[in-house]
Chain A
Amino acid sequence: MRSRRLTGLVGVAVALTLVLAACGGDDDGGQGGASFAEGSTMAKLQSAGKVTVGTKFDQPLFGLKNLEGKPEGFDVEIAKIIADEMGIKADNIEWVETVSANREPFIQQGKVDYVVATYTINDKRKKVIDFAGPYYVAGQDIMVKKGNPLGIKGPEDLSGKKVCSVTGSTPAENIRTKYPQAKLTEFDVYSKCAEALKNGQVDAVTTDNVILLGLISKDQETFELVGKPFTEEPYGIGVKKGDDQFRTFINDVLDKTKSDGRWQQAWDATAGKVATQDATQPPVDRY
């Protein structure tokens, strides 16, 4: 009996969702922009006049929620450029926090239309979602205490040292598999790694250089960057698997931002402020 009632409830919920979705589609938005092929994701988003974007809320310089509750950073700027190309204003973007563990499910379930969240392109992820881009190539680097008291010059020097990263992140896996002599400590966020480094509970923090720069920018008295990236982490924009039209569209947008300088503008306004080296936009990979 009980399960039948549950089934009924689910049915009602599904029907409601469908009705609501249909209503949502009728909204007249479409404030200009290019015209897109009928039925494409771009056309749908354009006529809805709004878009849901997944980004990080706790990543300084890339996606960090400010005190007004709006995220800001390089990822956020890239997401805005893409929305703008579909005629959607920045105010009509709904930001959803995506953390490392929920990015794929959110894309698969359609909870977000695309994800710009320091999202490294790799083959495993490509099995369930598709990537446009890359729009930036980061590299894994090491952050140590100011003055580098232990003389850590690269990942080889980490053996026997306590190194901190975020549970399950690509850099943590790198250390675990390629430098197993290093003693890996894992927290859920990088700010805790920074705190542990400050307290002397760990000897180094490792992740993508730009993320470390964000941590250093907050406390330049205490931390410094080793400054020798030892991996390449191409950041891509996650879209639903098989939506090649949408992926090609985003890739076209990224090509455009390269020539018209909007990429450089976005970089200079965000991560470029603390980056020690000049950055250039990588070519997109139309696989």
Chain B
Amino acid sequence: MDAVLDNLDAYRQGFVTTLTLTVIASALALVLGTLLAAMRVSPIPTLRGAGTTYVAIVRNTPLTVVFFFVVFVLPQLDISLSFFVFAVIAVTFYHAAFFCEVVRSGINSVAAGQAEAARSIGLTFTQSLRLVILPQAFRTVIPPLISVVIALTKNTSIAAAFGVIELTAIGTRLANANGDAVIPLLAGVAVCYLVITLPSGWLAGRLERRLAVAR
């Protein structure tokens, strides 16, 4: 226990890095995922095909492999960024595929009459999606959206193996430096993750009740 208290500063540093990575990547992935979902329901076959292909490839590749591509292949194309930015890119691109599927299922849950009505009053496809369908779609998929955020939070731990000093890397570092207190130190890391993920679940429950669509 002393080992944990002695290293609160290291924990804080790791916690902040993990949280920053989670927040930035979640926001970007949600935007990208929504765009992909819009592509997958759009009337243009090329866009639909592109969206479907993206989801099929990225969602079915292990995140570690995605990381390898981003961290070691992009530099060979003369794209050199910090390892943190690389991690944001890898986590964002990977989870966008999952967000896309969640948002798309939300879109499909909106009654077809809504879209038909929107189009019949003269809204374009983009307008009807933005103003009529998506606002309803998001409300129905809050629980699965938060599930993806929680998965994303835990998946950021893979960044530890790719040059980002986040919670898991801090855990490894502390465990190595304090061979006499490995279990408490790693338990401390688990608690830090729970501090992020548990409130997310709680938030999901609240949002769901507040925003439920009356049907």
A-side interface residues toward B, CB under 8 Å?
100-105, 124-125, 127-129, 164, 167-170, 172-173, 185-189, 192, 195-196, 199-201
Contact = CB atoms under 8 A, between A and B. Distances in A.
A71 B161 CA distance: 23
Contacts of A168: 169, 172-177
Contact of B161 (A101, A192, A199, A200): A192
A124 B162 contact: no
Contacts of A199: 72, 75-76
B169 A167 contact: yes
A124 B163 contact: no
A101 B176 contact: yes
Contact of B180 (A128, A169, A170, A172): A128
Interface residues of B, number: 22
Nearest to B158: A188
Interface in B41-84: 72, 75-76, 80, 83
Given A185-B83, A199-B75, A124 B180 contact: yes
Contacts of B172: 100-101, 167-168, 188
A234 to B, nearest CB: 15
B188 to A, nearest CB: 14
A197 to B, nearest CB: 11
Interface of B: 72, 75-76, 80, 83, 160-163, 165, 169, 172-180, 182-183
8 contacts: A124-B180, A168-B174, A168-B176, A170-B176, A172-B173, A187-B161, A192-B161, A199-B75
Contacts of A201: 75, 80, 83
A129 B173 contact: no
B179 A196 contact: no
Contacts, number: 71
A94 to B, nearest CB: 23
A105 B60 CA distance: 35
Given A199-B72, A199-B75, A129 B175 contact: no
A200 B75 contact: yes
Contacts of A185: 83, 163
B178 A124 contact: yes
The SS class assigned to the B binding surface is helix
Given A103-B179, A196-B163, 10 more contacts: A101-B172, A124-B177, A125-B180, A168-B169, A168-B176, A173-B177, A186-B169, A199-B72, A199-B76, A201-B80
A104 B179 contact: yes
A101 B160 contact: no
A283 to B, nearest CB: 24
A159 B44 CA distance: 55
A192 B162 contact: yes
Given A128-B179, A173-B177, A195 B160 contact: no
A168 B14 CA distance: 13
Contacts of A195: 72
B161 A188 contact: yes
Nearest to B178: A124
Nearest to A164: B163
Nearest to A128: B180
B179 A186 contact: no
Contacts of B174: 168
Contacts of B162: 187, 192
A251 to B, nearest CB: 21
B90 to A, nearest CB: 14
A167 B179 contact: no
Given A168-B173, A168-B175, A188 B160 contact: yes
B76 A104 contact: no
A52 B104 CA distance: 52
A167 B160 CA distance: 8
B167 to A, nearest CB: 12
Contacts of A104: 179-180, 182
Contacts of A172: 173
Contacts of B72: 192, 195-196, 199
Contact of A124 (B75, B80, B179): B179
Contacts of B176: 100-101, 167-170, 173
